[in-house]
Chains A and B, each alone.
Chain A
């Protein structure tokens, strides 16, 4: 049966104004890719800049997301009002950025163990995500791991 609610994660965007590395393991391809970049979150928009291995800029403002390929000089616009999955992503991103788990609690059971938050998905999110772990250091996000139900794993660390 087709999963109606497919989550899309714009990984690497979990840190406001900071640089990050993202290790993305894709089970279907049995490959791991490492990305580097930075993120800036303001009141009105979110800008993610990937610097390696490719240069891409993702700008979200209101209901619009623009994905810009800096080298190819092309861009793609996505209407977020038609993408519940993407809206959810921004919800998670802002929540983690603000270190506020109220929004996440709508979709996850949140348990804290030392410096690590363990997030168990509920409702439709369960179909895409198996679990999440977020580790804090000095009240800042240090590491986050997302385990997907399709066995993909994304691990992000701040620099």
Chain B
């Protein structure tokens, strides 16, 4: 008796020490609440990450509804307010907001950036052009101020990429004025984004009526906060539910404390191990983890209710069930999808620790099942009498359901559907799409160095004339040298003389063109200003491989660029879909390997009774597939949950296949209740990734409970 108390005290002390260390480390290295960190990173999503580093993706937009004078005044006030914020670099609203860097750059390099018509003009041609000009200036219609520096229009304005405008102000067509701010934090900079979010909300609080504010950075801030609160809510609810269920089922307060300590310790150690292996661990792992960790309680139910502790025997059925579960979870850790691999690893470690403690340490703590008959025993005995459906019926039914549902399965490849659906922000984003994107899509230009990048942008311009890229606002060294040589070889002195001589004949004042084309005589060499280019939307980004720049092209010009591998179109939806489809392929392969291993284990362990046990694999799977077919689509988290349900189902299958006794039934039914409390509760979450697991779990549990009506091949009472 004394030994029992000593063992229990020692267990509690050791557990408390580890829990204390674990909590300290957990607080010191917090988890990520940004779901994007939990998504797979491959070559395609890497491109998206690069895109997010460009300043042109760092935008904040404010729509001031309406085109009234009050709206305009409000937009101007908002522009002033935003320009004072520390996380805002510059604000653009009207044409008067041109950055001084840009003005200087354009002024210095005007003759390089404009299109130059180098046709040599004779004296008569000059006179003819001037006469046409004077006639145009005197006629009605648009008044054009005379440009005395280039009266013959030899240099044509460079083209800028423009958003929708009204009266020189940026607008969202048919909605209102639009203030555009360039912000400092990138989408991935969580701290900066949060600071921006707070600053903007405080600054614009007095004007919030009739405005819509959007920045891609707000998704991570708002969704993270929501996910964190959702996870906390779900985790708290799970714990309360489980405490209730455990207390109701075990009715042993002391053992309840010990089993909860075990689960908590296992979960904590598992999350720390996951954090050690994966640097960025999603907060969602905790939400699922709380549920997964509690599944380990099943082992306690099975060992305790089967009197294994009392009789000091090793339960091989529970052991093989555990092995099958671990093999399944272990195979999932290899999938290149952080959220799934993290969860699988978490489950693998926490279940292993819990099993080891329940199977090898708990027997020393001397918790014994009461032998006194209870009312509930009668219920389980009666339930046993309903087990009359032959296993083959469930097997055939499973095969039929799988065949029926297969043709109706659609994979939802949009990763964004897994994230919290922030409807106000999604609505705001759509609103601004028209202003910013119109029918153009971004394209990445890759090169080893700046000169090559500029040349490649020039190639892009050649094949997609209406594109906007670095080539619109900058010249390669080769092209600028060529332009300089072209200008120097043009006889501007002679042209000016012709202008002076013929201007009076054409009706102009004498000497009005004395300064025409004068700056070209001493034209300095072209100077690239990356700062000005950045403001103009043609940023040059240095990467470990070289340099990159963004261009914007019309969708119909995309085909002409297919043969240039250094031009990479960025379609976020397409990229994420491609990535999800890759993850699905990988998942399918791992699923097939895991499934085969599970089959081998079940057949090896249960042999003659294999069909009975296998139904715990087939039947939940078939019912869940039917659910996918009815709901229209399934995602990767659905698949993950399906795999989990199969793995847990096998646990029950192996355990029950050895022959049904009322306590085995009781243990499995109790396990189903705890699975529902730990996992099914996730259906209450508003985060689709979490909700999906809850859905599958509930359907899976219903399928497993239906299998209680399966007739066992052998009956041991």
A residues whose Cβ falls under 8 Å from a Cβ of B: 1-12, 24, 26-31, 33, 35, 37, 50, 53-54, 56, 58, 67, 81-82, 84, 86-88, 90-91, 94-95, 98, 100, 102-103, 105-107, 122-125, 128, 148, 150, 152, 154
Distance in Å from the Cβ of A43 to the closest Cβ of chain B? 10
B141–A87 CB distance below 8 A: no
With A2-B150, A91-B167, A102-B69 known as contacts, the answer to whether A123 contacts B144 (CB < 8 A) is no
Distance between Cα atoms of A10 and B139 in the complex (Å): 12
Contacts of A154 in B (CB 8 A): 143
User: Which residues of chain A have C-beta atoms less than 8 A from B69's C-beta?
Assistant: 98, 100, 102-103
Nearest-Cβ distance from residue A58 to partner chain B, whole angstroms: 6
Q: Does B209 touch A at the CB level, under 8 Å?
A: no
- Nearest-neighbour CB distance to chain A for B382, whole angstroms, equals 79
Inter-chain contact A124/B143, CB cutoff 8 Å: no
With A2-B110, A37-B140, A124-B96 known to touch, is A28 a contact of B72 (CB < 8 Å)? no
On whether the beta carbons of B139 and A54 are closer than 8 Å, the reply is yes
Which of B31-39, B506-514, B600-608 touches A?
Answer: B506-514
Q: How far is the CB of B84 from chain A (nearest CB, A)?
A: 18
Q: Is the CB of B168 within 8 A of A87?
A: yes
Residues in B with CB closer than 8 Å to A31 are 138, 507
Minimum C-beta distance from A127 to chain B (A) = 10
Q: How far is B72's CA from A94's CA once the two chains are assembled, in angstroms?
A: 13
Q: Can you identify 19 A-B contacts, CB atoms within 8 angstroms?
A: A6-B144, A8-B143, A8-B145, A28-B509, A29-B508, A30-B509, A31-B138, A33-B138, A53-B140, A54-B139, A81-B165, A90-B167, A91-B167, A91-B169, A103-B72, A106-B168, A128-B145, A150-B148, A154-B143
Q: Return chain B residues, CB-CB under 8 Å to A5.
A: 95, 98
Q: For residue A11, which residues in chain B have a CB less than 8 angstroms away from its CB?
A: 143
Judge if B107 is at the interface, Cβ distance under 8 Å: yes
Binding site for A on B (CB under 8 A): 69, 72-73, 76, 94-96, 98, 103, 106-107, 110, 134, 137-150, 155, 159, 162, 164-169, 507-509, 512, 519
Q: CB within 8 A of B96: which of A9, A95, A100, A123? A: A123
B96 with A106: CB separation less than 8 A: yes
- Given A2-B110, A29-B508, A125-B96, residue A10 in contact with residue B141 (CB < 8 A): yes
Q: How far is the CA of A5 from the CA of B69 in the complex (A)?
A: 25
Q: How many A-B residue pairs have CB under 8 A?
A: 126
B contact residues around A1 at 8 Å (CB): 107, 110, 149, 519
Alpha-carbon gap, A103 to B76, bound state (A): 10
B165–A87 CB distance below 8 A? yes
Q: Within 8 Å CB of B519, what residues of A?
A: 1-2
A91 touches which of B103, B144, B168 (Cβ 8 Å): B168
Give the distance to chain A from B118, nearest Cβ to Cβ, in Å: 17
Q: How far is the CA of A150 from the CA of B106 in the complex (A)?
A: 22
Q: Cα distance A100–B68 when bound, in Å?
A: 10
Q: Which of A100, A106, A150 contacts B76 (CB 8 A)?
A: A106
**What is the minimal beta-carbon distance from A40 to any residue of chain B, in angstroms?**
16
Minimum CB–CB distance from B522 to chain A (whole Å) comes to 13
